[in-house]
Chain A
Amino acid sequence: MFITVIQALSEGFLETLKLFAVTLVGALPLGLVISFGSMSRFTPLRWLSRFVVWVFRGTPLMLQLIIIFYVPGFVLPQNPWAISGGRFWAAAVAFIINYACYFSEIYRGGIEGVPKGQQEAGQVLGMTKSQIFFKVTLLQMIKRIVPPMSNEIITLVKDTSIARIISLQELIYAGYAFLKGSHGYSGLIWPLFFTGVYYLAFTGLLTLLFARIEKKMRYFGG
């Protein structure tokens, strides 16, 4: 029984990991784009970016999942998500946009938090804008955003379970399945509790990783 449960939970965990990884890969760069948008001097773009951020931070992720997954089917003759793996990709799209909005605000804080004098010091030394961004600002910004980012990323690990609402069969789902009847067992409660071990192990690993990154950048103040 234990082996069966572990196998089933691991399958669910794989789905959780997949959603986590795809969300990061999509949201980290998209967040940067949105943060540049929300700092843009071009007013309509700035307003649009801030509007998008407001909408996606201002509504529950669960609602976003439901809308993104179901509404296309209300409007179109065929739901584009009604393909194999469609639930996963619908969840991924919702998570990427939602997390990109949170990340964009962290990036914005990080970029705006680097003192203006740093940029000016680069300017008076005759450095170009891109040299200043990559050689001066970037690393200082990264140092600033690592703590809030690690917070957000650890939250993401746990938020993946929200994808259950559109029946994505992730880790919590796999745990619940043994309550309802799965792999020939029903009424088992402990597999659900046991999913906590997976989450703890993974977030523990991430915590160590972020602590290492923070330590690596501790050598410089500012």
Chain B
Amino acid sequence: MAVLQVENIQKNFGKVEVLKGIDFAVEKGEVLSIIGSSGSGKTTLLRCLNFLETPQEGRITVNGETLFDAADSHTLSDAAIRLNRLHFGLVFQQFNLFPQYTVKRNITLAEGLLAKERIKKEGSYNGYTDYREALAAIDQKAERLLAEVGLSDKQDSFPCQLSGGQQQRVAIARALSMEPDVLCFDEPTSALDPELTGEVLRVIRELKAAGRTMIIVTHEIEFARDVSDTVMFMDGGVVAEIGSPEQVIGNPQNSRTREFLARFNER
């Protein structure tokens, strides 16, 4: 069964139709890359998955549980949206680390707050009834995540002391801290100097090796071909072409896909 099932997502801002009915599914451990020119709706799609935007139409199902159905979306409370969000992680183009906190605190902040709330309301969080113990476990997990992205020595640094690539790796660790079912990347290397993209892409490759389910909006066509199980080409708010990297990038059928890739190859 698919981890994520997306059906007929439609989103417009005023009169502008940005998404005109998007359908796709992602299997567990699958890496889906979304490519396409600016304005094709890629980022909006990711934002819909993370409930930063509310689609006018469509359905989002994770592990068989319908998180969002436009037919009765008005019934979604703030609390329900919060819970839904935890199924997804999002790594932003601009990192969006919290500048006033250390690297480690950036990773532990949200889960710490959640643990505190749960222990207060329900008496326990992840089996911990004591907030301090829960926090210690959260701390350990943060250290493990930092090791995973190769930044164990930076846990007490502040974001402004890190390079762009390091900041983005922290952002990845932070997104993983809430143990999402699907980890989304919104052009994770676009804000980086070219020499820094490698370290971030390497981390993403390692995550794939570890079996993470990921959706990556990217302009790095070569990377997409290399790391993805599936590549989706979006154009004008619809899925123009979807399939294996060999098929979509290597042998595109859609004329728009070919134009797009040709423009990339010229660079």
Q: Which A residues are within 8 Å of any B CB, using their own CB? A: 115, 117-118, 120-129, 131, 135-136, 139-140, 143, 217, 219-222
Pairwise interchain contact B92-A121, C-beta atoms closer than 8 A = yes
* Nearest-Cβ distance from residue B85 to partner chain A, whole angstroms: 5
Please give me the 9 A-B residue pairs with the lowest Cβ-Cβ distance, nearest first.
Answer: A221-B160, A125-B110, A222-B99, A121-B96, A117-B96, A220-B99, A124-B90, A220-B100, A139-B100
Pairwise interchain contact B159-A121, C-beta atoms closer than 8 A = no
**Given A121-B96, A131-B113, A135-B113, 20 further pairs, Cβ under 8 A:** A117-B96, A118-B96, A120-B52, A120-B92, A121-B92, A123-B52, A123-B85, A124-B90, A125-B85, A126-B83, A128-B82, A135-B109, A136-B98, A143-B100, A220-B100, A220-B159, A220-B160, A221-B99, A222-B159, A222-B160
Separation of A95 and B19 alpha carbons in the complex (Å):
52
Separation of A217 and B100 alpha carbons in the complex (Å):
8
Residues of A within 8 A of B114 (CB): 126
Number of residues in B with C-beta < 8 Å to the partner? 30
Residues of A within 8 A of B136 (CB): none
* Nearest-Cβ distance from residue B61 to partner chain A, whole angstroms: 19
Decide yes or no whether B185 CB sits under 8 A from chain A.
no
22 sample A-B contacts, Cβ–Cβ < 8 Å, listed by A number:
A115-B94, A115-B96, A117-B92, A117-B96, A120-B52, A121-B97, A122-B110, A123-B85, A124-B90, A125-B110, A125-B174, A125-B178, A126-B86, A127-B110, A128-B82, A140-B100, A219-B158, A220-B99, A220-B100, A220-B101, A221-B159, A222-B159
Separation of A131 and B92 alpha carbons in the complex (Å):
20
Pairwise interchain contact B100-A120, C-beta atoms closer than 8 A = no
Separation of A121 and B50 alpha carbons in the complex (Å):
11
Separation of A51 and B138 alpha carbons in the complex (Å):
49
Which of A117, A135, A143 contacts B94, CB < 8 Å? Answer: A117
Using CB atoms, name the residue of chain B closest to A219. Answer: B158
Decide yes or no whether B88 CB sits under 8 A from chain A.
yes
Separation of A124 and B183 alpha carbons in the complex (Å):
11
Pairwise interchain contact A120-B99, C-beta atoms closer than 8 A = no
Q: Which B residues are within 8 Å of any A CB, using their own CB? A: 50-52, 78, 82-83, 85-86, 88-90, 92, 94, 96-101, 109-110, 113-114, 158-160, 174-175, 177-178
Residues of A within 8 A of B101 (CB): 220
* Nearest-Cβ distance from residue B174 to partner chain A, whole angstroms: 7
Using CB atoms, name the residue of chain B closest to A217. Answer: B100
Residues of A within 8 A of B99 (CB): 140, 220-222
Residues of B within 8 A of A129 (CB): 78
Pairwise interchain contact B98-A118, C-beta atoms closer than 8 A = yes
A124 and B50 in contact, given A135-B113, A221-B159 (Cβ under 8 angstroms)? yes
Using CB atoms, name the residue of chain A closest to B111. Answer: A125
Using CB atoms, name the residue of chain A closest to B114. Answer: A126
* Nearest-Cβ distance from residue A126 to partner chain B, whole angstroms: 5
* Nearest-Cβ distance from residue A133 to partner chain B, whole angstroms: 13
Separation of A117 and B97 alpha carbons in the complex (Å):
9
Using CB atoms, name the residue of chain A closest to B113. Answer: A131
Pairwise interchain contact A126-B96, C-beta atoms closer than 8 A = no
Pairwise interchain contact A126-B82, C-beta atoms closer than 8 A = yes
Counting chain B CB atoms within 10 Å of each CB, the highest count among A122, A124, A219 belongs to A124
Residues of A within 8 A of B178 (CB): 125-126
* Nearest-Cβ distance from residue B114 to partner chain A, whole angstroms: 6
Separation of A56 and B113 alpha carbons in the complex (Å):
41
Residues of A within 8 A of B96 (CB): 115, 117-118, 120-121
Residues of A within 8 A of B100 (CB): 139-140, 143, 217, 220, 222
Pairwise interchain contact A126-B78, C-beta atoms closer than 8 A = no
Separation of A129 and B113 alpha carbons in the complex (Å):
12
Residues of B within 8 A of A121 (CB): 92, 96-98
Using CB atoms, name the residue of chain A closest to B84. Answer: A126
Separation of A166 and B159 alpha carbons in the complex (Å):
52
Counting chain B CB atoms within 10 Å of each CB, the highest count among A123, A126, A221 belongs to A126
Which of A115, A127, A219 contacts B113, CB < 8 Å? Answer: A127
Separation of A139 and B158 alpha carbons in the complex (Å):
15
Separation of A129 and B98 alpha carbons in the complex (Å):
16
Separation of A217 and B52 alpha carbons in the complex (Å):
30
